């Protein structure tokens, strides 16, 4: 090559190199900006979810009627990592769970159920909740949702847990939900890696679902029950699905306990929450938790618990508990998010962690 | 010992074991094995003239600490040290990074390539498209319509902060 000045033209980098650099950009927002720089960079294919690490979550703020009046059907999402408030389209329907970038929207009577990705505005219709549904389930109880794989996968199983007795699942295109009947009051439930995990007070049950029989969704094949440690009784506890499996996190006002389910030994192992632990957990009182690895994100503190909880009426606080408080997180919300709550907001829909995704 | 000759005719004498970190050079040496000494001269003219020096520095540092060791048994302290050294090594202007990427690409040096790409992506993080354009001296060549219509509306939320 003769003209070396030509070499330095960033717009003329070979496409495979541009793509490689784009792959090193991990945050979805950075990725979108990257594609807006010039048309060569724009030609980089859109990131498939599996190429990006699990995204840092935003805090989806509670439904606020006054904001909706002014802005139409929108919800605010607080991007803790860039200290920005993001406004996205979400219809004024109860949103009761979120998973990997999708929101579960349920109309008042449960007759209309759908998934919405507020970033892409894609919508997926799900079977209605039918006669058994009582608005109470999502108004006062907690609810959560998991997918067995990428939502675009034709066999992706969508599992929804509605406190305290409802574990239902369906596939896209199904006409109705299939229900699994727990034997007693559930604390939490999740579907992870082909297994159904049920958390009761004092014990936990794992059910291997029959993968061969596709029409029948949850056929118990192998069931095991694990007795929970005494310190996990009588505290708030949730399942957390992380990179390396299922965790049980127990939270009380003095701290947290974290247990990981060990697939080989079939038992729960306590995780020491010192600095060597790379798992950061995002916890919400009413909504699903999620776990991220601090190996993926420099901005995360390993072994810490990022909490969303209401301290005083109309003030939302985010606190990271880790042998004390993480001053950064507390400061973030003291400075910014509290501003949003001059008006009354819907107590039924507290803030929830939302993991942005383009798929 | 092999000799690399850069575009400005400078010569760099490097131990074969060191230069082997470039898979391209390794293949060339392998092809020419058993031939005359003159064949141990390799032209690297497609690389900006300042770069061979930098690449050789990188090789030497990594030669002292081969990749396999880096992963398996390197002590935490040593790994930390190498990390620090790399951070300093890549802490350079964006043009040099561009040249390093292209050099690492043509000489096939995976770790250098990855490291440089990583650094570039770090520079781009948290910056608007305009800022990135300025840093990388890319002129905005979207048509007015694309600029006004398609790009912002596609992901309007990216560009805004709703805090009053």
- What is the pLDDT, as a whole number, of residue A113? 93
**A238 vs chain B: nearest CA distance in angstroms?**
32
Q: A48-354: what fold?
A: Neuraminidase (2.120.10)
Q: What is the pLDDT of residues B55-87, one digit of tens each?
A: 888 888 877 765 555 555 566 777 778 888 888
Q: Which long-range contacts (CB under 8 A, 24 or more apart) does B116-121 make?
A: B116/B90, B117/A17, B117/A20, B117/A21, B117/A24, B118/A24, B118/B90, B119/B90, B119/B91, B120/A21, B120/A24, B120/B94, B121/A21, B121/A22, B121/A24, B121/A25, B121/A26, B121/A30
Give the number of C-alpha atoms closer than 13 A to the C-alpha of residue A63, restricted to the C-beta side.
Answer: 16
CATH number at residue B59: 3.30.710.10
**CA nearest neighbour of A326 among A350, A290, A302, A292:** A302
Per-residue DSSP letter, A193: T
B37 within domain boundaries: no
Taking an 8 Å cut-off on Cβ atoms, the answer to whether B157 and A39 are in contact is no
The confidence band for A289, taking pLDDT boundaries of 50, 70 and 90, is confident
Dihedral angle of Cα A356, A311, A304, A197, to the nearest 10 degrees? -70
Is the pLDDT score of A310 beyond 50? Answer: no
The partner residue sitting opposite A88, judged by closest CB among B121, B132, B157, is B157
Which phi and psi angles does B2 have, rounded to 5°? -120, 160
pLDDT at A212: 42
Domain that holds residue B141: 46-150
Shortest CB distance from A38 goes to which of B113, B141, B164? B141
Res A69: pLDDT? 65
Residues in chain A within 8 Å Cβ distance of B7: 4
Report how far residue B15's alpha carbon sits from residue A346's, in angstroms, rounded to the nearest whole number. Answer: 71
The shortest CB-CB distance from A86 to any of B118, B125, B162 is to B162
B127 within domain boundaries = yes
Q: Do residues A282 and A306 make contact, with C-beta atoms less than 8 angstroms apart? A: yes
Q: What is the pLDDT of residues A30-51, one digit of tens each?
A: 888 888 888 778 777 766 655 6
DSSP secondary structure of B64-106: TS-HHHHHTT--HHHHHHHHHHHHHHH-S-HHHHHHHHHHHHH
Are B157 and A119 in contact (CB < 8 Å)? Answer: yes
The answer, yes or no, to whether residue B144 has pLDDT greater than 80, is no
Q: Inter-chain contact B128–A33, Cβ cutoff 8 Å?
A: yes
pLDDT at A156 over 70: yes
Among candidates B98, B126, B128 on the partner chain, residue whose Cβ is nearest the Cβ of A10? B98
> Which has more pLDDT, A330 or A245?
A245
Q: Say if the Cβ atoms of B155 and A119 lie within 8 Å.
A: yes
Q: What is the pLDDT of residue A232?
A: 78
Domain ranges of chain A: 1-47, 48-354
Count of A–B CB contacts within 8 Å?
A: 102
Contact at CB, B137 and A339, closer than 8 angstroms: no
* Average pLDDT, rounded, for chain A: 73
pLDDT digits (tens, 9 = 90+) for A317-343: 443 332 233 323 333 333 333 333 333
What is the structure's pLDDT at A103? Answer: 93
Strands A178-180 and A166-171: antiparallel
For residues A121 and A129, is the Cβ–Cβ distance under 8 A?
no
Of B117, B137, B151, the CB nearest to A20: B117
Q: What is the reported pLDDT for A339? A: 34
Most confident of A4-13, A50-59, B140-149: A50-59
Please count the structural domains in chain B.
Answer: 1
> Is the Cβ of B94 closer than 8 Å to some Cβ of chain A?
yes
Which residues on chain A are in Cβ contact (under 8 Å) with B163? 84-85, 336, 339
Q: Which pTM value belongs to this model?
A: 0.77
Mean pLDDT of B32-46: 72
B74 at the A interface (CB within 8 A)?
A: no
Average pLDDT, chain B: 78
Chain B residue numbers with beta carbons less than 8 Å from the beta carbon of A336 are 163
The whole-angstrom separation of Cα A75 and Cα A118 is 9
pLDDT at residue A185, rounded to an integer: 87
Note the pLDDT of residue B36: 65
Query: Over 80: is that where the pLDDT of A21 sits?
Result: yes
| B124 vs A: CB within 8 A | yes
Contacts of B46 in chain A (CB under 8 A): 1
């Amino acid at each position: 090559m003769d003209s070396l000045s030509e070499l330095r033209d960033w717009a003329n980098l070979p496409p495979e190199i541009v793509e490689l650099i784009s792959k090193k950009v991990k945050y979805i927002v950075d990725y979108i900006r990257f594609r807006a720089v010039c048309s060569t960079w724009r030609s980089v294919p859109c990131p498939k979810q599996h190429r990006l690490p699990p995204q840092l979550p935003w805090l989806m703020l509670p439904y606020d009627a006054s904001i909706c009046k002014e802005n139409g059907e929108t919800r605010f999402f607080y991007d803790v990592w860039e200290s920005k408030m993001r406004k996205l389209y979400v219809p004024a329907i109860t949103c009761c769970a979120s998973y990997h970038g999708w929101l579960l929207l349920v109309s008042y009577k449960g007759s209309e159920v759908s998934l919405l990705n507020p970033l892409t505005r894609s919508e997926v219709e799900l079977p209605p909740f039918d006669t058994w549904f009582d608005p109470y389930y999502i108004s006062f109880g907690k609810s959560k949702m998991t997918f067995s794989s990428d939502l675009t996968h034709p066999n992706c199983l969508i599992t929804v847990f509605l406190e305290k007795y409802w574990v239902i699942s369906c596939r896209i295109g199904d006409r109705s939900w299939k229900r699994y009947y727990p034997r007693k009051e559930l604390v939490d439930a999740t579907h992870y890696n082909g297994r159904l995990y049920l958390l009761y007070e004092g014990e936990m049950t794992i059910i291997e679902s029959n993968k061969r029989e596709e029409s029948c969704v949850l056929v118990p094949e192998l069931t095991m029950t694990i007795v929970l440690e005494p310190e996990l009784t009588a505290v708030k506890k949730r399942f957390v699905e992380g990179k390396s499996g299922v965790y049980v996190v127990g939270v009380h006002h003095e701290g947290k306990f974290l247990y990981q389910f060990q697939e080989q030994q079939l038992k729960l192992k306590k995780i020491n929450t010192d600095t060597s632990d790379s798992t950061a957990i995002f916890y919400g009182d009413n909504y699903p938790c999620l776990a991220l690895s601090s190996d993926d994100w420099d901005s995360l503190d390993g072994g810490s618990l990022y909490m969303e909880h209401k301290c005083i009426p109309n003030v939302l606080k985010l606190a990271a508990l880790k042998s004390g408080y993480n001053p950064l997180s507390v400061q973030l919300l003291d400075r910014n998010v509290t501003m949003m709550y001059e008006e009354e907001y819907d107590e039924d829909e507290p803030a929830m962690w939302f993991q942005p995704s383009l798929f | 010992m092999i000799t690399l000759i850069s575009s400005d005719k400078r010569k760099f004498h490097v131990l074969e074991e060191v230069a082997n970190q470039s898979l391209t050079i390794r293949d060339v040496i392998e092809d020419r094995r058993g031939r005359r000494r003159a064949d141990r001269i390799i032209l690297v003219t497609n690389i900006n003239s300042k770069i061979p020096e930098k690449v050789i520095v990188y090789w030497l540092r990594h030669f002292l600490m081969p990749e396999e060791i880096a992963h398996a048994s390197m002590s935490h302290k040593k790994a930390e040290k190498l990390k620090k050294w790399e951070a300093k090594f890549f802490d350079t202007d964006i043009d040099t990074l561009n040249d390093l990427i292209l050099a690492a690409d043509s000489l096939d040096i995976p770790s250098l390539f990855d490291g440089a790409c990583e650094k570039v992506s770090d520079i781009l993080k948290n910056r608007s498209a305009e800022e990135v354009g300025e840093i990388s001296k890319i002129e905005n060549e979207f048509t007015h319509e694309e600029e006004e219509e398609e790009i912002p509306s596609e992901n309007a939320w990216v560009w805004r902060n709703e805090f009053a």
